[in-house]
Amino acid sequence: MTNTTKSSASPSRKPEATADPAAHTVLVTNQGVPIGDNQNSLKAGLRGPVLLEDFILREKITHFDHERIPERIVHARGSAAHGYFEAYKALPDLTRAAPFREAGKITPVFARFSTVAGERGSADTARDVRGFAVKFYTDEGNWDLVGNNIPVFFIQDAMKFPDLIHAVKPEPHHGMPQAASAHDTFWDFASLSPETTHTLMWVMSDRGIPRSLRMMQGFGVHTFRLVNALGKSHFVKFHWKPLLGTHALVWDEAVVLAGADSDFHRRDLWEAIEAGEFPEWELGLQVFTEAQAEAFSFDVLDATKLIPEELVPVTPVGRMVLNRNPDNFFAETEQVAFCAAHVIPGIDFSNDPLLAGRIHSYIDTQISRLGGVNFHELPINAPKVPIHNNQRDGLHRMAVPTGRVAYEPNSLGGGCPFQAGAAGFASFPQAVQDDKVRGKPEKFSDHYSQATLFWDSQTPLEQAHIAAGFRFELSKLTVPAIQERMVASLVNVSRDLAGTVAQGLGMKLPAALARALPRAPKPEVAHSPALSLTALPGDGGIRTRKVAILVADGVLGTSVATVVQALKAADAVPCIIAKRLGEVATSDDTALQATGTYENSSPALFDALVLADGETGVAAMSQTQAVQDFIHSHHNHGKTLLVLGLAEVLLEQAGIRMFLPGGAPDPGVILSAPHSVAQETANFIHAMGKHRHTERLLALL
């Protein structure tokens, strides 16, 4: 008899709708014993001591005491969703990997997005790298593509990973700061490790504070291999590009959101999927040969380097759609175990030394976090394919192997399970003939060329935000020597950047830090537009965008109703905000219901602002400081404002200019007369599609 275990049903398939599962069910213990009283413990008399024999109480409390599992050391704060990957076409020349076997092939997936530095209860909007991990439940086992929203990483070798994380985590003597890198230990490490410079540029840019998890790219970071059925190999880099485009928060907006809604990104992802607005990413491949790799001015095995798209274009090969929220956060989002070692036939590793450490580290940490080697049997981690092997026992074993055979080769089990031979996974036979050494190739020592490429590829506004990011972080340091070292390192990236940062820190521009590689190879590309967030603007729609509509008793309800109807038709989310919840007394008896108040609705939670018309209502709003706060917040963050009729006086009261320097009208401030509300609302919706008005943001610098 074959030693066989079967995995749980596909975790990506939602059960059919049924009646409330709690209806007509009896409360029982974990042993199935019916519980007659779940309100009172067993006592010796009504006022007597609680009895030790109360096994119902002890089971309930004991289980509660052990509900929490150790959080991830990094990427502890995460949000996730189920979905599917659809291949555009078969890729037989490149890979035998199951997801790419045929056009239109559907592979279930589970994707998790996360911050890196913060603990499980930290805020979503901290400046940080974001994890972007996708588990493919393929026909030949699970493939985990575990990457980030930034294509490069801080370090080149896994040997330094514990040091990096120890440096960025809260300082050990007082446990501060939480989910932040603006402190001495991180920048001490960074200033003494120039290889971090390229990734620091990305993190200090707008990439470090995405507007939404649905609006950020994903990257596999490392160089991997694709291997076809004939054993031929190509190198590959993986790219995820969001359909909604890449958009970011403004820094002080991110800070406000951390307090106004620390679950901002998690809520945004959840509510979009619940509303049927399924986020979508296109998977693209940068495929290149080893000969091409040898000719590059950088080393493709160096995780601090990327391949500019001008050298190797990104070829779209499929799309991922996330269409179902988890049924239980703990069972799925918290217990999902991604491992860089989880590959399938057709996907293989390169000799990237950081990747080599991850191949070991992820499995090791999951064993510790999930209580043993059987974490693969948890439903969210279980493959779709049946499991046949001779592994036995261990903590939390859930499968029940059958038969007497637990070894191979055997005759008592008919020789089963047997080796797959050529149909199984086989590592690419790369020739290795070298001495054992500790060190790195010479090209690894060029720490600045690609950091300069990134800087030179940003728009003026993005460059201003990068400089502001460095100024904020370094201004929090208490050791001047660390500040000076870091600015000296930035001189090698851009004297303009370093000078702006130094000026903000009140220090003289230091001499450039000595380079590890004084004569770096000349880079092939000096400017790469794809490195700017503006390269992926999205489709211009405003689906799921939240719009605050400020009202007060006495506003003109018909114009507000017109705006609400148009926004809903564009799949935006209009929110009527007033002094109190409930019915608004309009001047024309139009029914309006306030769903938010000035007290519970921070301006930072909304993507655009509408100011209602009506003499009495406008007069009331002019006496409300919160209205001024909304106007200033939306204007200063480059968002779109629609001002109906008499509400123009509120802009004047706030000191808001409706023209840009030079006299051009601000395209993000739209005024509407009562007779033109429908047309101006259409203009408002079009202007919202830009997400932010960079002309205004540049003028406000």
Bridge partners, 235 (sequence order): 225, 288
Q: Which of 3, 82, 142, 148 is catalytic?
A: 148
* Whether the Cβ atoms of residue 596 and residue 575 lie closer than 8 Å to each other: yes
112 is in an annotated binding site: yes
The b/e string for 431-444 (b: 16+ C-beta within 10 A; e otherwise) is eeeeeeeeebeebb
d(CA 198, CA 336): 30
68 is in an annotated binding site: no
72 is in an annotated binding site: yes
495 is in an annotated binding site: no
Cβ atoms within 10 Å of 511's Cβ, excluding its own: 8
Write the DSSP string, 370-437. HTSGGGGGSTTT--SS-B-------TT------SS--SSS-STTTT-S---GGGS-------------
Q: By CB neighbour count within 10 A (0-12 exposed, 13-18 middle, 19+ buried), where does 75 fall? A: buried
Task: Answer yes or no: 691 catalytic.
Answer: no
Q: Which of 75, 183, 447, 691 is catalytic?
A: 75
369 is in an annotated binding site: yes
Task: Answer yes or no: 142 catalytic.
Answer: no
What's 63's DSSP letter?
H
Phi and psi torsions of 276, nearest 5°: 85, 5
Sign of CA dihedral 227, 138, 321, 145: negative
Q: Give the length of the chain.
A: 701
Q: How far is CA 13 from the centre of its chain?
A: 23
Residues 6+ apart with CB under 8 A from 429: 231
* Whether the Cβ atoms of residue 249 and residue 178 lie closer than 8 Å to each other: no
Cβ atoms within 10 Å of 140's Cβ, excluding its own: 20
Residue 283 identity? L
d(CA 370, CA 334): 10
454 is in an annotated binding site: no
Three-class HEC string of 114-168:
EECCCCCCCCCCCCCCEEEEEEEEEECEEEEEEEECCCCCCCCCHHHHHHHHHHH
d(CA 594, CA 579): 9
d(CA 382, CA 224): 24
Phi and psi torsions of 621, nearest 5°: -65, -30
Write the DSSP string, 302-341. -TT----TTTSPPEEEEEEEEEE--S-IIIIIIT----TT
Phi and psi torsions of 161, nearest 5°: -65, -45
Q: Residues annotated as binding site?
A: 72, 112, 161, 358, 362, 369
Residues taking part in catalysis: 75, 148
Q: Residues annotated as binding site for heme?
A: 72, 112, 161, 358, 362, 369
